[in-house]
């Protein structure tokens, strides 16, 4: 029944759009092509500005409402050792992309209004502009350099093989869609070798049992517990 209602709604909307098109053509014939184009362009221009305000306003409101979830503030603050490093990388990326997003959409809808069709106006053709091309090449290059450098620094910080000074236990956590597989080292204190080619239904981690360090590894369950 729901599918039938949806199909009927689509058909009804199609009929309405067709009728609107016919009314527009009839209006153009009555008013004259030039006057009809002027009215249509004026409405499209003002509607573009109105949509810009509503669209960007909705984006800003939703971003403010979900700022804690998106930015990792309040109860959503990262609990991992490297979480703040990754959050900072996300923040600066969001800053650059957010500014570009807002400016591009303002320009898009403003140009749709400013350069709408008007009687007597002629378009100007500009084949080449060295200064403009230099600007829109140099600025993205600088921004990408900043993001890449910060990304490499974050990667090196997170992936650095640093061992603590005090006694520690190396624990391996392998993520799956809805759970974790936790592996503890045995009495030797060392985790055995893994090989993805050895992964089977009974050996989900691909543990290589030809490595003696693997023989005493322990996989107790999905919960991480203190020794």
Written as one string, the DSSP assignment of 104-122 is: HHHHHHHHHHHT---TT--
User: 51: closest CA among 124, 128, 105?
Assistant: 105
Buried b (16+ CB within 10 A) or exposed e, 30-50: eeeeeebbbeebeeebeebee
Q: Indicate if the pLDDT at residue 11 is higher than 60.
A: yes
Q: Indicate if the pLDDT at residue 6 is higher than 90.
A: no
Q: Which is more confidently placed, 137 or 118?
A: 137
Mean pLDDT of 190-199: 90
Q: Indicate if the pLDDT at residue 163 is higher than 90.
A: no
Q: Indicate if the pLDDT at residue 64 is higher than 90.
A: no
71-113 confidence digits (pLDDT tens): 777 777 777 778 888 888 888 998 899 999 999 999 999 988 8
Q: Which is more confidently placed, 178 or 61?
A: 61
What residue segments make up the domains of the chain, in order of their start?
32-118+132-159, 172-222
Q: Which is more confidently placed, 159 or 27?
A: 159
Q: Which of 70-74, 138-142, 200-204 has the lowest average pLDDT?
A: 70-74
52/7 Cα distance (integer angstroms): 31
| Contact (CB, 8 A) for 67 and 90 | no
Confidence of residue 145 (pLDDT cuts 50, 70, 90): very high
Confidence of residue 31 (pLDDT cuts 50, 70, 90): low
149-160 confidence digits (pLDDT tens): 988 988 888 877
Phi, psi of 45, deg, nearest 5:
-65, -50
Q: Tell me, rounded to whole angstroms, the distance of Cα 129 from its chain centroid.
A: 32
> How would you write 130-156 as a 3-class SS string?
HHHHHHHHHHHHHHHHHHHHHHHHHHH
3-state secondary structure at position 163: coil
Whole-number Cα distances in Å, 44 to 47, 51, 114, 125? 5, 10, 11, 23
pLDDT in the model for residue 53: 92
pTM attached to this predicted model = 0.57
49/114 Cα distance (integer angstroms): 10
pLDDT in the model for residue 209: 92
């Amino acid at each position: 029944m729901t599918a039938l209602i949806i199909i009927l709604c689509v058909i009804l909307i199609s009929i309405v759009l067709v009728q609107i098109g016919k009314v527009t053509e009839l209006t153009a014939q009555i008013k004259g092509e030039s006057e009809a184009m002027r009215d249509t362009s004026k409405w499209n221009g003002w509607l573009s500005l109105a949509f810009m305000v509503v669209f960007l306003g909705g984006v800003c409101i939703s971003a403010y409402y979900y700022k804690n979830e998106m930015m990792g503030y309040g109860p959503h603050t990262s609990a991992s050792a490297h979480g703040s490093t990754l959050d900072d990388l996300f923040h600066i990326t969001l800053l650059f992309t957010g500014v570009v997003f807002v400016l591009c959409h303002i320009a898009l809808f403003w140009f749709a209004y400013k350069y709408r069709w008007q009687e007597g106006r002629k378009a100007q053709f500009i084949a080449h502009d060295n200064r403009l091309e230099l600007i829109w090449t140099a600025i993205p290059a600088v921004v990408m350099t900043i993001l890449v450098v910060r990304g490499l620094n974050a990667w090196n910080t997170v992936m650095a093989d640093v061992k603590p000074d005090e006694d520690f236990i190396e624990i391996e956590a392998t993520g799956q869609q809805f759970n974790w597989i936790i592996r503890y080292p045995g009495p030797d204190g060392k985790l055995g070798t893994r090989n993805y080619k050895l992964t089977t239904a009974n050996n989900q981690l691909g543990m290589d049992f030809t490595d003696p360090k693997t023989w005493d590894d322990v996989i107790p369950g999905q919960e991480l517990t203190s020794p």
